[in-house]
């Protein structure tokens, strides 16, 4: 899948928020890609655009999302349903909000099972659906799946709810899994288990993955390539080890330095300032009001991506190109 020059605005009472400002991202077959950046920088908006599940006040201003030769933004509803049913799926960050509180797990999961193989000619009996639901719950290592199926979401723990969401996503996914901060709302001890589970299932099924996470350690241990996003722009992309050992963009450097260490060095100062106002975002490089290295050109012209080593380490910063 390739996202090219994606622009998305949100209409609000304050004016139009120019959130995505020409986003580019690519994920190959079987590739695992990470997407990192502060809250509010457009990561979730980008991924919601892929499945065309943006909020009703969002306007796609330009760009395309190519998946297997077709622009997902332009396909008809029937084809879009097919993409969601068979090809691309998403795990959301809040499992409590992702599950309907008035339905039992068996009803929700049963619907997903039916939907995901809806075009199959096989006639599904109630027993067959029940059996398939049990199978997917076992795959996500949920203990006592019979009891889980007969429960409402509030009768289960956060970790169990997220496993159900993972089960639902993986029932449908054939090609690409988007995991949007899948561990944010979970205990630290459960986070590790859930990430491991996603990693194993993805490897078993040979899926491509886009992992959005604030847990940089988890990203480092899971993905092949990392994209760094700031204020609606991709600012750096590189192989995982290279990005973590040699971050080039001033924003990436600040982001990695902001991670609290367990070595008694205290807390870093983080990155000064905050994400810009999207109604009137800064001209040129959107990071320039927070950047210690900003020069004149940074305030006038947005930097393109420069490939700094000829091997795909790309950075959108005038420090690495003509400017």
Buried/exposed code over 150-187 (b: 16+ C-beta within 10 A; e: otherwise):
ebebeebebbbbbbbbbbbbbbbbebbbbbbbbbbbbe
Contacts of 310 by beta carbon, 8 Å cutoff, 6+ apart = none
Question: What residues form DSSP beta bridges with 223?
Answer: none
Min dist CB 288 to ligand SF4, Å, is 4
Measured from the CB atom, the residue of 165 and 294 that comes closer to ligand SF4 is 294
Q: Is 26 exposed, middle or buried (0-12, 13-18, 19+ CB in 10 A)?
A: middle
CA distance 263 to 294: 32
Among 10, 67, 92, 318, binds ligand SF4 (CB under 6 A): 318
By CB under 6 A, name the one of 303, 308, 313, 314 that touches ligand SF4: 303
154 near ligand SF4 (CB under 6 A): no
Is residue 287 a contact point for ligand SF4 (CB under 6 A)? Answer: yes
Q: Contact region for ligand SF4 (CB under 6 A) — 89-97, 117-125, 138-146, 280-288?
A: 280-288
Interface of this chain with ligand SF4, residues 234 to 263, rule: CB under 6 A: 249-250
**SS3 (DSSP) at 64:** strand
How would DSSP label each residue in 156-211?
S-HHHHHHHHHHHHHHH-SSEEEEESTTTTS-HHHHHHHHHHHHHHHHHHT-EEEE
- Can residue 197 be called a binding residue for ligand SF4 (CB under 6 A)? no
Cβ 229 to ligand SF4 shortest distance, Å: 13
298 binds ligand SF4 (CB under 6 A): yes
Choose, by CB under 6 A, the member of 294, 308, 313, 314 that binds ligand SF4.
Answer: 294
CB 287 → ligand SF4: shortest distance, Å?
Answer: 5
* CA separation for the pair 323, 312 (Å, rounded): 21
Check residue 231 for interaction with ligand SF4 (CB under 6 A). Answer: no
| Contact call for residue 145 and ligand SF4 (CB under 6 A) | no
List of residues contacting ligand SF4 (CB under 6 A)? 249-250, 285, 287-288, 291, 293-294, 298, 303, 317-319
């Amino acid at each position: 899948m390739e996202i090219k020059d994606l622009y998305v605005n949100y209409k609000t009472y304050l004016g139009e928020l120019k959130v995505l400002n020409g986003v580019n991202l690519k994920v190959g077959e079987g590739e695992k890609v990470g997407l990192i950046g502060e809250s509010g920088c457009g990561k979730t908006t980008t991924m919601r655009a892929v499945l065309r599940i943006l909020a009703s006040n969002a306007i796609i201003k330009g760009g395309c999302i190519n998946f297997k030769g077709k622009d997902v933004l332009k396909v008809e509803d029937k084809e879009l349903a097919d993409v969601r049913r068979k090809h691309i799926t998403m795990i959301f960050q809040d499992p409590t909000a992702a599950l309907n509180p008035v339905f039992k797990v068996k009803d929700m999961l049963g619907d997903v099972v039916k939907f995901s193989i809806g075009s199959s000619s096989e006639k599904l009996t109630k027993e067959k659906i029940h059996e398939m639901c049990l199978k997917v719950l076992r795959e996500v290592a949920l203990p006592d799946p019979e009891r889980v199926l007969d429960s409402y979401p509030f009768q289960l723990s956060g970790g169990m709810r997220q496993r159900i969401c993972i089960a639902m996503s993986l029932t449908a996914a054939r090609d690409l899994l988007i995991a949007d901060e899948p561990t944010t709302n979970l205990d630290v001890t459960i986070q590790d288990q859930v990430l491991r589970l996603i990693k194993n299932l993805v490897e078993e099924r040979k899926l491509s993955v886009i992992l959005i996470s604030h847990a940089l350690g988890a990203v480092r241990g899971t993905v092949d390539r990392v994209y760094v996003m700031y204020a609606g722009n991709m600012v750096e992309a590189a192989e995982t080890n290279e990005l973590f050992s040699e971050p080039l963009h001033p924003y990436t450097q600040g982001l990695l330095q902001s991670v609290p260490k367990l070595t008694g060095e205290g807390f870093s100062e983080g990155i000064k300032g905050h994400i810009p106002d999207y109604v009137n975002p800064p001209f040129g490089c959107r990071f320039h009001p927070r950047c210690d290295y900003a020069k004149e050109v940074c305030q006038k012209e947005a930097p393109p991506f420069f490939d700094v080593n000829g091997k795909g380490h790309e950075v959108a910063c005038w420090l690495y190109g003509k400017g």
